[in-house]
A and B are shown apart, each in its own frame.
Chain A
Amino acid sequence: MTQQPMVDIRGVHKFFGDLHVLAGIDLQVAPGEVCVLMGPSGSGKSTLLRCINEMEQISAGRVYVDGMLMGLREVVKDGRSVLYRLKDSEIAAQRSRIGMVFQRFNLFPHLTAVENVMEAPVQVKKMPKPQAREMAMTQLERVGLSDRADHYPAQLSGGQQQRVAIARALAMTPELMLFDEPTSALDPELVGEVLGVMRELAASGMTMIVVTHEVGFAKEVADHVVFMDGGVVIADGSAAETIENPTHPRAVEFFGKVL
């Protein structure tokens, strides 16, 4: 198979001062694949996710999304590779092609649900407002919230807020969606509605990288499950391999507690 991976992470390291958060990560995600990142807190899952869309700058290695090198331009001069950092506007353009959903939703509280979804298409893509509103309503319908379009985030439940956040990310028609523990801040009875939207999104062929502790979701939806600990990938395989038949002692211990 020679298909170009949607996400190609090669030898990525990340230091926060002396702290070695990511210690050499290699990971490929093919187009349309759902990759679930699991592992104990502090294992570097969220940092890895944030390195993919340049929310954090990596210390070593390369991250490619759909073939483009993230955050840098690499020029080969006389057989030597020179790296230039991209301009803010270029990084912003790269980010606009990657959707991100946060643990704390981070909806814009001064905007209604539909305004939240419209904001980036209008401000970044310069889409005319009537067209953006129409498109935003379609996205809200997709997450089952068209009847809440004129509500402010504070008037919505956590599950509804997270669904609006997913619609907001989808409004930029991203090629890749990153989910950073999207259900961890939700009351248990609200987790299902968010996972439902994510399940449909996966079925529609979206490439997704999901950091989550939801084992059920991982087993059902993930094409491959990555187990991380101490800043390295310990296991990368199907849900059956990584979760149900772990071989590495750390993975055995972790899934023994989670399941």
Chain B
Amino acid sequence: MTDVPTPTGKPELIKPKPVFRLDLWIWAGIVLVLGAMLVHALFTNPNFRWDVVAQFLFDARVIKGVGWTLLLTLAAMAIGIVLAVTTAVMRMGTNPVLRGVAWAYIWFFRGTPIYTQLVFWGLLPVLYPKLSLGVPFGPEFFVFTTQEVINAAVAAILGLGLNEGAYLSEIVRSGLNSVDKGQWEAATALGMRHGTVLRRIIIPQAMRVIVPPTGNETISMLKTTSLVLAVPFTYELTFVTNAIGNKNFLPVPLLLVAVIHYLVITSVLMVGQTHLERYYGRGFEGQPSGRPQNKRAARQQAIGASGTVNDVTNLEVTP
């Protein structure tokens, strides 16, 4: 009998020295020099008038403009999401008339520039001074003065919301389509009806595909609100800062004021976006899984790990 080697305690762990990466240091040097040049160019150029920027950054009119921009963004997204879910479900439904309506809505609002649409919303009180509820070519029950119902703010929100709904509808639809067909089969085989299958089985799983691009759309909407001057709506950030800049003959520093505010809001939204993506990315390969802290997170991880939802990576659509 030869000696059987006895297992010794702990193995010696490998702790290698990392590879020296020259390219990393070269790029760091290049970026450092370029960055210094940029900072120098930004802060030493007297045309930027940073003193004026500081003076107007928290001006009451500007802050109100930020408020209106946020309100337009949120209201338009809310309308857009409701329209998107409705039209996406209509397009996947069994009623060919509703399928056609949803298709036509998307066709029109994706097929025309948002700027043109906003001009038309602004012109509505001129084109149709009175709005009435009644039978076509027959009696009218209610009559409104268009100007009173659709003022500039309502026109702006409707214009942005209807346009956004068309884009989001495609996102929702690809989300619903990304759920494995076996899920439909299992649910219908149990006797569930179309609407129940969508609501209870398909939509909860499609959320992970729908929500992250919707966050992206929100960031995009924030900047699209600057187009509502087409209505014209004159209280949002871009219009307000432009107006102040033109009055003072100092357009450049006021543009910078707008840029700073947009960047700050976008940064906040991006933090939210990152959290959403991590939340809905649970269970997919390459995502940190670990032990989820709560039931909702556990549910998302379970969906991800099951592989019944295809990851749609090309869903970055913006108007």
Contact = CB atoms under 8 A, between A and B. Distances in A.
Interface of A: 53, 55, 88-89, 92-93, 95-100, 102, 104, 106-110, 119-120, 123-124, 152-155, 165, 168-169, 172
Interface in B172-208: 180, 182-183, 185-194, 196, 200-201, 204-205
A120 B306 contact: no
Question: Which of under 10, 10 to 19, 20 to 34, or 35 or more describes the interface residues of B?
Answer: 20 to 34
15 contacts: A53-B189, A55-B185, A95-B188, A96-B191, A97-B191, A100-B186, A102-B182, A106-B182, A109-B305, A120-B192, A124-B191, A154-B306, A155-B302, A169-B189, A169-B190
Contacts of B189: 53, 55, 95, 98-100, 169
Indicate the member of A108, A119, A154 with the most B CB atoms within 10 Å.
Answer: A108
Main secondary structure of the interface of A (DSSP, over half): mixed
Contacts of A172: 190-191
Interface of B: 94, 180, 182-183, 185-194, 196, 200-201, 204-205, 283, 298-299, 301-303, 305-306, 308
A124 B204 CA distance: 18
Contact of A120 (B185, B191, B298): B191
Nearest to B197: A123
Contacts of B185: 55, 102, 106
A165 B183 CA distance: 12
B48 to A, nearest CB: 52
A153 B302 contact: yes
Contacts of A168: 190
B186 A108 contact: yes
B190 A109 contact: no
Q: Lowest 10 A-B CB distances belong to which pairs?
A: A96-B191, A109-B306, A152-B302, A154-B305, A106-B186, A120-B190, A106-B182, A100-B189, A124-B191, A95-B191
Contacts of A53: 189
